A and B are shown apart, each in its own frame.
Chain A
Amino acid sequence: MVALSSFVILSTTVFVIGLIGVMIRRNFLIILYSIELMLNAANINLVAFARYTHTLTGQVVTLFVITIAAGEAAVGLAIIIVLFRRRSSTNVDQLNLMRW
């Protein structure tokens, strides 16, 4: 059986890859993908701890996380569509209207 620490290391790695993706990419869509990656890293952690502590709480919370991720995707894509209609680009560097 695989040790719990292996799952924790995997989840940390995927989370940091998503974090780097949010920081370095210019495309709004790829930034949303990176956020989905980070949510998935949290899910791996929750399910692994649920398995290793013999409870179901982690799996129930994972269900909630998946639901919230679906809602986040819907609202994020609506924002992208509005943005593309105004600017005809999804580059986040052009969103400097509120910059001081």
Chain B
Amino acid sequence: MQPLFFYYFAGATVISAVLTVGLRNPVYGTLALLSAFLHVAGLFILLNAEFIAAIQIIIYAGAVLVLYLFVLMLLNLKSTEKVVQRQWGVAIFFGAVVLTEILLALFKSPAAAPDGSTPGANVPAAGNTEMLGLSLFNDYLLPFELVGIILLGGIIGALVLAKQHPAR
């Protein structure tokens, strides 16, 4: 049953990603990106990461994507412009080269693990959210605070950038 779900979620993620990059209308692109995020959340549930899946849906699909859509409505873009660069053939060629290179590096390197390594069925004593919280606030407390500072910088930067300055 599990491979079936994996192939559904993986295929839907890849198709949504291609549509995000390929669709002409940015609103349709946003909806394709939403579909990609939801299917990635399904993959996270398949990987026993329920809390990350919930965060993915709440923050990515709920907050970030709504922010994008909101700005998209504010901008009122013209849809007559050309959407892709002239050099799209070269870009796709180099993308294929990078894909081949990464896959070769993964599967032909001397450090490659034997294929088909599967996890055992050890279920942690507490739930995923509880274990994650304990780890986050004990072992990763300093990175947690640093991420808070980065978020504060992001808020202040966005406000300063988007503020309407009166004419001087």
Please list the residues of chain A having a beta carbon within 8 angstroms of any beta carbon in chain B. Answer: 1-10, 12-21, 23-27, 29-30, 32-34, 36-37, 40, 43-44, 47-48, 50-52, 54, 56-57, 59-60, 62-64, 66-75, 77-82, 84, 89-91, 93
Contact = CB atoms under 8 A, between A and B. Distances in A.
Contact of B21 (A17, A44, A77): A17
B14 A17 contact: yes
Given A26-B83, A34-B20, 12 more contacts: A3-B118, A7-B43, A10-B13, A16-B102, A23-B95, A26-B85, A54-B119, A73-B68, A74-B67, A74-B158, A78-B161, A81-B71
Contacts of A40: 36-37, 40, 60
Given A12-B99, A20-B95, A63 B136 contact: yes
B162 A71 contact: no
Interface residues of B, number: 84
A69 B67 CA distance: 13
Contacts, number: 220
18 contacts: A1-B119, A2-B2, A2-B6, A3-B117, A10-B43, A16-B96, A23-B91, A24-B85, A24-B91, A30-B21, A37-B17, A37-B33, A44-B40, A52-B117, A59-B132, A69-B60, A71-B150, A73-B64
B168 interface: no
A24 B67 contact: no
B3 A33 contact: no
Interface of B: 2-3, 6, 10, 13-14, 17-18, 20-21, 26, 29-30, 33, 36-37, 40, 43-44, 46-49, 51-52, 55-56, 59-60, 63-64, 67-68, 71-72, 74-75, 77-78, 81-85, 87-88, 91-92, 94-96, 98-99, 102-103, 106-107, 113, 115-120, 122, 128, 131-132, 135-136, 139-140, 143, 147, 150-151, 153-155, 157-159, 161-162
